[in-house]
Amino acid sequence: MKNKKTFRFSAILLFLAFFTMSAYADVIQQKDTVTGIVIDKDKQPLPGAKVEIEGQPYSAFTDLDGRFNIKYEPGAKKVLVTYPKTKPAKKKISPDMIIQVGRNWRQAPDHYQWFVGANIGIGLTAADFNFAYTDPDGHYQYEYTDGFIAPTISVMAGRVKVVGWYVKAFASPSIKGIDREIPNNHYYNMGAILGGMVRLGSPIHLYLGGGFAYSDFTEIPNYLINHYNWQIDLGLLFRIKDHFGFNISVNCGTNIRYNYINASFLNYGASYFF
């Protein structure tokens, strides 16, 4: 009798063990596999990148060829790839995945980048300008104009890492003066600036430059004025993506020949890094 009870107990244990192993085997068999390759922004294999199954405790590191192979349980939808000094990349699971990661623009750059930008703004291009002339009858005349409001268009280009340089060319097209007493008064301004740039932190760059501008007043009765300005350019450039940014700057000028002429512009623009 005792032997029968022992036999039954042993049979139950064997059955439970067999059932447990079968269930575990079913779980193992239900696991899927994702394979793929991780590449950098230059499309080169990236070894040592960590690839994780989002929402599950399964991960792997890419081999010397940038490849990975991970088993995961059903229900997972995306993989997450992380690598030092790059932006984390997340991508939907698919057969033979190709995952590209790029540099994190918040990190300090490891090489110089060229950039180009375009700016536009509205500014007071001449203020408090006094002039005098002699009319055809020989009489001395004195006139006054209180300024010109003109658009400014400029382009800039340069090269920067943590520090760098840039050049800027700008122009204000010929525009009618705002003084009603001189209806034919026109003005235009153009110049160039050379300056330096420094990365303050994260995406912010400060730039400062100086140069010259040529200004021309035309169609003032019996008088023509050409003069040169000292120009100072001060601005901030904000990186918003790996290749893009926007900037704001103040351009101020003080003339050399006349003490009453100023030129100042508030510019907004966009830049592209490559």
Q: Please report whether residue 60 resides in a domain.
A: yes
Report whether pLDDT(164) > 70: yes
Task: Specify the pLDDT at position 118.
Answer: 95
Q: What is the mean pLDDT of residues 201-220?
A: 81
Report whether pLDDT(168) > 70: yes
Q: Are residue 182 and residue 265 in the same domain, yes or no?
A: yes
Q: Is the pTM of this model over 0.85?
A: no
Task: Specify the pLDDT at position 239.
Answer: 86
Task: Specify the pLDDT at position 81.
Answer: 95
CATH of residue 70's domain is 2.60.40.1120
Contact between 156 and 176 under an 8 Å Cβ cutoff? The reply is no
Q: Are residue 73 and residue 163 in the same domain, yes or no?
A: no
Supply φ then ψ for residue 202, to 5 degrees. 50, -125
Write the CA distances from 11 to 3, 150, 166, integer angstroms.
12, 97, 85
Domain count, the chain: 2
Q: Are residue 120 and residue 146 in the same domain, yes or no?
A: yes
> How far, in Å, CA of 198 to CA of 156, rounded?
15
Q: Are residue 76 and residue 120 in the same domain, yes or no?
A: no
- Could you say which of 53, 73, 103 is where a domain stops? 103
The most distant pair of C-alpha atoms in the chain lies apart, rounded to whole Å, by 145
Task: Specify the pLDDT at position 228.
Answer: 75
Average pLDDT, the chain: 78
Report whether pLDDT(104) > 60: yes
Q: Are residue 166 and residue 268 in the same domain, yes or no?
A: yes
Q: Please report whether residue 6 resides in a domain.
A: no
Supply φ then ψ for residue 62, to 5 degrees. -70, 150
Domain that holds residue 71: 31-103
Q: Are residue 138 and residue 228 in the same domain, yes or no?
A: yes
